[in-house]
Every structure is written in structure tokens, then in C-alpha cells.
């Protein structure tokens, strides 16, 4: 079957959205188990990503820049950095990682508090 660049890009946008939103919701002070869970998730995401070429490149990136899972800021900063590495390879503009703070909002409100927020 022919490659479909539109579908590939769509998958990429959806995946990055989930990826960065997950980092934005990762605990500021994770337990060792939280950090291990995120590290494992990232490794499996890289291994199972449906575009095989993308997955191969991304696994190389993870070897060079191991996932930072010590806390939310480190994880979000790391994810922004590696996405920029992918951007570079695809000749896309660099994203300013200082703006990552409020950019990814899961829309979940403050869970365990007021449900309407």
C-alpha cells in the first residue's frame, strides 16, 4: 500500500497531543513507581508507535536523550526537547519550550475537587 502523508501527519499530531498532555499531568512529586511507569510508557510508545520508520528514529533519540521522569517539569521539558529534535529532522519550526506550561490542558478540571471546574 502507498504511503499516505496526510494520515501519517494526523497520527503524529494526535500522538504528540497525548504525549505532551500526559507530561503536563504527571505529578510534580512522583513516587519511584510513577517515574518507572512513565519511563516504561515512553519506551513502549517508542517501540509500538504505528509508523515503523518514525518508531525507529524515535528509539534512537531515546537512546541519545533518555527520558526524564523525575517530575512534571523535567518530563515536560524533556518531551518538548525531543519533539523539537523530530521537528529539526522534518524541517519544521522549533517550538519555544518556555511556553509549554499552559499549552497542554487536558480539560479534566481539578479532579477530586469541584467537578464543574
Which CB, 57 or 72, lies closer to ligand FAD?
Answer: 57
Q: How distant, in Å, are the alpha carbons of 17, 22, 23, 67 from that of 35?
A: 20, 13, 11, 10
Of the residues 53, 65, 101, 109, which one makes contact with ligand FAD according to CB under 6 A: 53
Residue with nearest beta carbon to ligand FAD: 12
CA 45 vs. chain centroid, Å, equals 9
Of the residues 49, 67, 75, 78, which one makes contact with ligand FAD according to CB under 6 A: 49
Q: Which stretch binds ligand FAD (CB under 6 A): 14-22, 32-40, 67-75, 105-113?
A: 14-22
- The Cα–Cα gap between 58 and 47 comes to 9
Is residue 41 a contact partner of residue 23, using CB atoms and an 8 Å limit?
no
Question: Does 73 engage in binding with ligand FAD (CB under 6 A)?
Answer: no
Which CB, 54 or 74, lies closer to ligand FAD?
Answer: 54
List all residues 6 or more positions away from 16 whose beta carbon is below 8 Å from its beta carbon: 83
Minimum separation from the CB atom of position 113 to ligand FAD (A): 27
Helix (H) or strand (E) holding 80: helix 72-89
Which residues of this protein are in contact with ligand FAD, per CB under 6 A? 8-9, 12-13, 15-16, 20, 49, 53-54, 57-58, 80, 83-84, 86-87, 90, 92, 95, 100
Amino acid at each position: 500500500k502507498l504511503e499516505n502523508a496526510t494520515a501519517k501527519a494526523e497520527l503524529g499530531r494526535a500522538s504528540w497531543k497525548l504525549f505532551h498532555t500526559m507530561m503536563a499531568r504527571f505529578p510534580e512529586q512522583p513516587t519511584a513507581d510513577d517515574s518507572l511507569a512513565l519511563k516504561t510508557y515512553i519506551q513502549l510508545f517508542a517501540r509500538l508507535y504505528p509508523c515503523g520508520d518514525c518508531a525507529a528514529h524515535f528509539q534512537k533519540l531515546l537512546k541519545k536523550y533518555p527520558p526524564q521522569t523525575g517530575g512534571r517539569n523535567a518530563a515536560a521539558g524533556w518531551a518538548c526537547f525531543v519533539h523539537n529534535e523530530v521537528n529539526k529532522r522534518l524541517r519544521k519550526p522549533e517550538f519555544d519550550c518556555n511556553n509549554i506550561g499552559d499549552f497542554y490542558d487536558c480539560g479534566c478540571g481539578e479532579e477530586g475537587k469541584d467537578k464543574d471546574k
